Amino acid sequence: MLKNKTLVPCLFYFLLSILIYAQGLSVHGMEYRDDEVFYFNSAKEMVASGDYLSPKYLGEDRFQKPILYYWLIVICYKIFGVSWFSARLTSVIFSGLTVSLTWLMARRLFAAKHIAHLSALILMTCPLFFRHAKNVVPDMTLTFFIVLSCFSILFIQDAIDNTKSIIEERRCNYIFFISMASGFMIKGIAAVAVPLLLLFVYFTVTQKKKYIKQMNWLRGIGLFLLICLPWFIYMVLRHGTDYMDYMLAHETQNRILGIEQKGGFLVARLKQFGKNSLFYLTVLFQYFAPWSIFIIAAIPLAIGRISKNHKDRESLVFILSWMGIVFVMFSFMDFKISHYMMSLSAGYALLLGYFMNEIFSSRLMQGKIFSFIRTNYLILMIVLCSVVYTFLVVYLLQWNPWVIMVIIAGCVYAVCIIKLKKSNVLPAYILAGVMLFILFQSPLLAKASLTPHSTLQRVAAVVNTVKQDDYILGVGSHDLHEKELQVYFDQKVERLVTTHEGHNIYHLTRMFNYSKDVFCLMTEKDYNHYFSKEEFKKYKTEILTEEYLARKRFFIDKGFFTALLQMDQQKVYHYIMEKIVLIRKVQDA
């Protein structure tokens, strides 16, 4: 049971997470994941058909991922109705639970309260975590169950150390196996591999192998199978070899082990590890910014204290083992995807929270340098965040330029407070507060058309208003993603372009030759380029609507900076944004 002194902070961080992440769920995604549409529509088809056991997408069987995440979305649909808000709410809730668990874990691992608060705030403001807290994909829910499984290892250790009752020890074992089983039913093997490997590595390194033997493995495995096996047996009985072939070939062999290559399996895995490890190192710096720069010092600090048998030795072994297992395991896999690092995000935040709380000795030059760099880097990030926010609201949303003066005054005040207080943790708290303030207003990105959802929603509304029963819709520019438009339609949106000019002309002319009601979304630049060609002059088209989206590629020159200094909001806007047009083939009378 949680005591009041832990319940209140946990509830605070849970509610704060809900408040931050629930903003703009209906139209906004920080970074669109194209598989959002699969989960959204598959759960919607479950509700419509009443078949809650075998997911389908546009009427076809969907074997990707186990069933539990679909059920969680369906529950939200049943309570709040079918909408993007309802679908994404599942991730929002589990993000809040993960942040609260991270706070609790920090309180269990370390004596200093600041470490717990900093860990929770760092996790909340990491771009990778924020992105998945607002997307209808299973990664956030999987992360929660992995964190709960890892936390339960500490429960098991405490129950044995404190010689509590057999009932308490069994309860801790049940939490471990139930959370692994739940994670497995969300997204598969990672939910089992990470906690199990951590259990063995942690207890081995800390010389507590007897704890492993004291666990009731037979009962735990039985409970795990009781939760997981029934649905898989049902799917095999219903779909037979199709389901078995998909699970064994695609999900196991191709995704985890990779297609067989020359030189043998071991050589191939080692080569893959080298490539993937560099990729994931980039992810850890890029997607955990601005905090990630401190990991360069945090890891050596932790290793040094482990080697010196510091009082925090076991806690640091736990965190480094967790992070190392996730990094090495996914580096050996055939696929490399940035969101795999979600599995170590809580451990990453715990280590950074520990480093932020560290008071470096002012007697040593090394300590002075570390303190100076940490404080001034955090001040720089506060200023940088303020500059980015200013650019968004003044130049893209075209607010009153006097906002700049207000933001400058706020930055000066924050810097003065940091310099006067001389607290080792205050700069981190202020940076986290600034970032949370900005993240709370994330719907502004949609209003500024920096994220595509609100713009594409308006485009879709036009199509749905004027389309005939027999229609076809395509995307005719390389920088536009058809799956981002797909979320607003029940029939497939065609992708008509590649990187090859000849192929693009072929696919565009093929679509415009249809006798159906033809719609195409493309950039104004591509529209002028293609429809000025001889092949397209025979088609009569009309522009139904014009919108603006953030450019995927933009050219910054001297004129851009001149416009900034001259406060020319319109000119800066057109440097960043690109016009898109929805065109329709005019049918012959």
Give the pLDDT of residue 502.
85
Res. 589: pLDDT tops 50: no
- Among 234, 221, 21, residue whose Cα is nearest residue 130: 21
Tally of helices (H runs) and strands (E runs) in the chain: 26, 7
Does the pLDDT of residue 32 top 60, yes or no? no
Closest C-alpha to 350, from 118, 159, 166: 118
Continuous H helices in 345-402: 345-357, 365-390
**Residue 89 is encoded by which pair of tokens?**
């709410």
pTM beyond cutoff 0.95? no
Model pLDDT, residue 473: 92
How far apart are alpha carbons 99 and 144 in whole angstroms?
9
- Tens of pLDDT, residue by residue over 336-395, are 888 899 999 999 999 999 998 887 655 556 667 778 888 889 999 999 999 888 888 888
Percent of the chain beyond pLDDT 90?
Answer: 45
Q: Say if residue 552's pLDDT is above 80.
A: no
Reported as a single tens digit per residue, the pLDDT across 414-448 is: 889 888 887 888 999 999 999 999 999 888 877 77
Please check the confidence at residue 566 and state whether its pLDDT lies above 90.
no
Q: What is the DSSP string of 5-68?
A: HHHHHHHHHHHHHHHHHTTTTTT--SS--TTHHHHHHHHHHHHHH---SS-EETTEE--SS-SH
Please give the C-alpha separations between residue 351 and each of 101, 214, 294, 340, 431, in angstroms, as whole numbers: 15, 29, 10, 19, 18
Instruction: Quote the pLDDT of residue 520.
Output: 93
| C-alpha distance across the termini of the chain, in Å | 74
With 70 as the cut, is the pLDDT of residue 116 above it?
yes
3-state percent helix, strand, coil for the chain, nearest multiple of 5: 70, 5, 25
Greater confidence, 244 or 433? 433
DSSP type of residue 489:
-
Q: Render pLDDT for 475-520 as a digit per residue (tens, 0 to 9).
A: 988 888 887 787 788 788 888 888 788 888 988 998 898 888 999 9
pLDDT band for position 1 (cuts 50, 70, 90)? very low
Tens digit of pLDDT for each residue in 279-317? 999 999 999 999 999 999 899 999 999 999 889 999 999
Using alpha carbons, select from 291, 382, 346, 293 the residue that is nearest to residue 123: 346
One-letter amino acid identity for 558? Answer: K
Given the structure tokens 């799917």, which residue do they identify? 235
The arrangement of strands across the sheet holding 471-475 comes to 494-495, 471-475, 517-523, 577-585, 541-550
pLDDT, average across residues 144-155: 95
Residue with tokens 């997607």: 287
| 3 state DSSP class of 579 | strand
